[in-house]
A and B are shown apart, each in its own frame.
Chain A
């Protein structure tokens, strides 16, 4: 059932992406941007329903895996973008973020997901929900920062290389993009920090140890340090091209390590039975 609703949401995402792209290629059609915003808001709502229905079907267990993670990522990404658009009014970003959302969502739409099984009672803590939501939320903000960084580098190439083509006139100013990257990285870092704290609390409760050299834990900490360093560097004057490149590289590292950890089975206890067996053995 939830997959059907999700497909409806995906169709709406496609329409929103199309509207934003129309706006990008023909900036005179401001209405396209407005339409894009509202269709995207509709997609976000339908997507929320899909997630809710999914939770009641599978008890939330699907969000422990990669597929559910992607579904959640797109939802939070969209929510974050809608929020940004409301306050900063940069509809050109939509032409970069909405296709990204659609591409990430696509692999989750095919085939009926197998019943992921009900989450083991040992990991049914409220802190787990917070952990998942904030971790994916942080990644969503980093993902938008990634999209904006691409915009920055494209515009920088236009401005510095004296091209002044179509992109030059359509993309926002370098300063606006730079500020946006900074805000997104900072906000993402805060949200990601919450995820790490919630994760630590959960690990202490479930695995009886806050730190167990689980590869997921190691990677997460590395990424937290990476983005923390970026927040710090900003304060010491880093910005512009260097900062955009760093945002780009940071997200590529983040995405590749997270996905590979989920794909390779048995590497981390953040998949499969979540260490339930381990705790059984401990008992």
Chain B
């Protein structure tokens, strides 16, 4: 068998602190240069580097693991203690799990697949990814897609602002023709208001005790500032009210909301209290058509999502495992085919040579018909002799038995040639186009 294997060396949020990760992380042209350097290293056939804020991983199809390790140790000596290394099926499984977002900090988050696709696109642009990486990465993308469509791993809200969006969506559908009110200049409030922009609110109103900070915030979120004294009137105007002030008491009281609801003729209102200590009287929730939530409620949703995702992750793992096995089997089958071809070529060469030698002795005594039958006989012996091994090697290829091809090569004395790069230039470009169209 080929001595080349797939190796992975990397570090992630699980193994290394941010100080180490940022020292080895690369983007853009620097990454391209690093890929070219890797590819230029002796014994490295192909290389892909996945570099995000949470992980840096080097995948190489090479004779040994050292070049991949060097990638890290040459950049930051202290990285050595944080590295993990995987070989063969282990490395394949790791890539599939990463792409399927099973190894992410927030399991099931959507960005990682795009980042892996980008990494592969960059590698094939730098011509460091060839046919092997093309097959591997495309299989990883397909696996991630399967996981996404067959499990609920991407469902639910994983941050406060996502929870706010989900809640508002279940109450109002969308926010067309409605207004959001930000009370106080807290950071969480601004984040939530920005997240709510996806629901297409008509207006964002901002109010704050100190007008300076309020105006700055209004500018930041693209809203209009209104004076603090207007709060009762603003509660009538706005449908979603996000409260995050530093006040130690209830800023939005039950009486205030009750009056507002009267003026609103009971049009629904959503109160989101992001402040600790709370700024919205919990008694507001008793009023009809008022939906009030505090930080604890939102946190519970985040936790529920994480729990649900853990369950879905188990289902995803079985999908990944099946895909890894299928890929490994195909890989071994591919390894068997070159051996078979070489065996045949080798045998036919011998047959041709022997036939020629015989014919050169007997040449003059034989007519055309006689020459033909000598050649045919040589060919027939080769065919008969190779019939059994061919069938068994093909069977081994289809069952994924990787030992037999190696044994055959050994037995027949066939030197293993490196994989021929015939399809190398065409394939990556094609799959890159597929990858980018998927993303859009």
The answer to whether A175 and B171 touch across the interface, beta carbons within 8 angstroms, is yes
Measured in the bound complex, the distance between the Cα atoms of B289 and A28 in whole Å is: 31
Q: Which of the residues B156, B170, B265 comes within 8 Å of A159, measured between beta carbons?
A: B170
The answer on a CB contact under 8 Å between A162 and B173 is no
B316-373 contacts to A, CB under 8 A, are none
Type the 1/0 row for A157-197, where 1 means its CB is closer than 8 Å to any CB of B: 01110101000110111111000000000000000000000
A89 close to B (CB within 8 Å): no
B-binding segment of A39-47, A137-145, A234-242: A234-242
Assess the B268–A174 pair: CB atoms within 8 A: yes
Query: A173 touching B170 by the CB < 8 A rule?
Result: yes
Bound-complex Cα distance A172 to B268 (A)? 16
Complex contact B265–A237 (CB within 8 A)? yes
Contact A240 B289 (CB under 8 A): yes
Q: Is the CB of A28 within 8 A of B152?
A: yes
Instruction: Select one of B171, B265, B304 contacting A164, CB under 8 A.
Output: B304
B297 touches A173 (CB 8 A): no
Report if B288 contacts A (CB, 8 A).
yes
Cβ–Cβ < 8 Å partners of B297 in chain A: 162
Task: Kindly list chain B residues whose C-beta atoms are within 8 Å of the C-beta of A238.
Answer: 266
Closest to A171 in B: B170
Q: Which of B160-218 contact A (CB under 8 A)?
A: 167, 169-173
Q: Is the CB of A159 within 8 A of B155?
A: no
Counting CB contacts under 8 A, is A155 at the interface? Answer: yes
Q: Would A176 and B173 be within 8 Å (CB), given that A162-B293, A240-B289, A241-B289 are in contact?
A: yes
A164–B303 alpha-carbon span in the complex (Å):
12
CB atoms of A175 and B266 under 8 A apart: no
The chain A residue sitting closest to B288, CB to CB, is: A241
Q: Which residues of B contact A28 (CB under 8 A)?
A: 149-150, 152
A246 to chain B, nearest CB (A): 13
Is the C-beta of B23 less than 8 angstroms from some C-beta in chain A?
A: no
> Once the chains bind, are B289 and A173 in contact (CB under 8 Å)?
no
What is the bound-complex CA distance between A159 and B268, given in angstroms? 12
Measured between alpha carbons, how far is A176 from B291 in the docked complex, in Å? 16
A174→B270 CA distance, assembly (Å): 12
Q: Which residue of A lies closest to B264 (CB)?
A: A237
Identify the closest chain A residue to B169 (Cβ).
A173
Report chain B residues within 8 Å CB of A175. Answer: 171-173, 268
Contact B268 A237 (CB under 8 A): no
Which of A155, A164, A242 is in CB contact (< 8 Å) with B301?
A164
B155 touches A169 (CB 8 A): yes
Listed residue (B156, B169, B173, B297) with the most chain A CB atoms within 10 angstroms of its CB: B173
List the A side residues contacting B265 at CB < 8 Å: 237
Question: Which residues of chain A are within 8 angstroms of B172 by Cβ–Cβ distance?
Answer: 173-175
Question: Is the Cβ of B300 less than 8 Å from the Cβ of A240?
Answer: no
- Which residues from B are CB-within-8-Å of A237? 265-267
Instruction: Give chain A residues whose Cβ lies under 8 Å from the Cβ of B169.
Output: 173
When chains A and B are docked, how far (Å) is the Cα of A6 from the Cα of B167? 44
Check A162–B155 contact: CB distance below 8 A: no
- Contacting pair B291 A160 (CB below 8 A): yes
Interface positions, chain A 117-153, Cβ under 8 Å from B, are none
Instruction: Closest A residue to B157 by CB, please name it.
Output: A164
A239 to B167, CA, bound (A): 19
Contact present for A240 and B266 (CB under 8 Å): yes
Roughly how many angstroms separate A155 CA and B170 CA in the complex, as a whole number? 9
Assess A168 versus B152: contact at CB under 8 Å? Given A175-B268, A237-B265, A240-B268: no
Closest partner residue, chain B, to A165 (CB atom): B304
Q: Considering only CB atoms, which chain B residue lies closest to A172 in the complex?
A: B173
In angstroms, how far is the closest chain B Cβ from the Cβ of A244?
11
| Residues 225-258 of chain A, each 1 if its beta carbon lies under 8 Å from chain B, else 0 | 0000000000001111110000000000000000
User: Within the complex, what minimum Cβ distance (angstroms) separates B319 from chain A?
Assistant: 14
Residues of A close to B167: CB separation below 8 A? 159
CA distance A213 to B437 in the complex (A): 71
Give the residues from 93 to 123 in chain A that come closer than 8 angstroms, CB to CB, to chain B. none
Question: Closest CB-CB distance, B112 to chain A, in whole Å?
Answer: 20
B34 at the interface (CB under 8 A from A): no
For the complex, what is the distance from the CA of A268 to the CA of B50, rounded to whole Å?
Answer: 80
> A158 vs B265: C-alpha distance in the bound complex, in angstroms?
23
| B285–A168 touching, CB < 8 Å | no
Query: Taking A164-B304, A174-B268, A241-B289 as contacts, is the C-beta distance between A159 and B149 under 8 angstroms?
Result: no
- Whether A174 pairs with B171 at a CB distance below 8 angstroms is yes
Interface residues in B135-152 by Cβ distance below 8 A to A read 149-150, 152
Q: How far is the CA of A2 from the CA of B333 in the complex (A)?
A: 62
Q: Distance in Å from the Cβ of B84 to the closest Cβ of chain A? A: 34
**In whole Å, how far is A150's beta carbon from the nearest beta carbon of chain B?**
17
Residues of B near A240 (CB, < 8 A) are: 266, 268, 288-289
Least distance between A23 CB and chain B CB atoms (Å): 14
Residues of B within 8 A of A158 (CB): 170
A and B contact pairs by CB, cutoff 8 A, 23 listed: A28-B149, A158-B170, A159-B170, A159-B291, A160-B285, A162-B293, A162-B300, A164-B300, A164-B301, A168-B170, A173-B170, A173-B171, A173-B172, A174-B172, A174-B268, A175-B172, A175-B173, A175-B268, A176-B173, A239-B267, A240-B288, A241-B289, A242-B266
5 A-B pairs with the lowest CB-CB distances in the bound complex, closest first? A237-B265, A173-B173, A175-B173, A240-B289, A175-B172
Given A28-B152, A164-B300, A240-B289, 8 extra CB contacts under 8 A: A155-B170, A158-B170, A162-B297, A162-B300, A172-B173, A173-B171, A175-B172, A240-B288
